[in-house]
Amino acid sequence: MKMKIVVSSEGNQVSGHFGHCEGFTVYEVEEGKVLNKNFVESPGHRPGFLPVFLKDLGANTIIAGGMGETAQDLFKERQIEVVVGASGLCDDLVQAYLKGQLKSTGSVCREHQHEGNCDN
């Protein structure tokens, strides 16, 4: 079964805050192996827009450092798994996810005055 895992990214690292990331690294995966990887620049942060944008890209799973509650709820409504609380290299996180070693902390980002860092 093919799937797409999307990591909110700053360069090759997961972004600390989903809505303010530079873009998304999209991994096409089949049978536990990455077939393809590409970067999609973020179209910008507008409430409720990114879950629709990423669903249209075919996302099955989103990996992020921090994410607001509304975005998490919108992804869940679209049957897209959300993994938050991640940190490190995008490639490493996807491999850990595929091995069942990456679990969501379930944390919700409530600070929107920060400069791209979410500590909540």
pLDDT digit string (tens) for 43-60?
988 888 999 999 999 999
Model confidence at 115: pLDDT above 60: no
Structural domains of the chain ordered from first start: 2-98 (3.30.420.130)
* Apex 89 CA angle, 37 and 105, nearest 5: 105
Q: What span, in angstroms and rounded, lies between the C-alpha atoms of 115 and 82?
A: 22
Percent of the chain with pLDDT over 90: 76
Alpha-carbon gap, residue 54 to 32, rounded angstroms: 21
Q: What is the pTM of this model?
A: 0.89
In order, the DSSP letters of 9-76 are EETTEE-SSGGG-SEEEEEEEETTEEEEEEEEE-----TTHHHHHHHHTT-SEEE-S---HHHHHHHH
Using the structure block, give the residue that is written with the tokens 């700053």: 10
Percentage of the chain surpassing pLDDT 70?
91
Are the CB atoms for 15 and 9 separated by under 8 Å?
yes
Q: Which of 80 and 105 is assigned the larger pLDDT? A: 80
Distance between CA atoms of residues 27 and 6, nearest Å: 6
pLDDT in tens, 4-29: 999 999 999 999 989 889 999 999 99
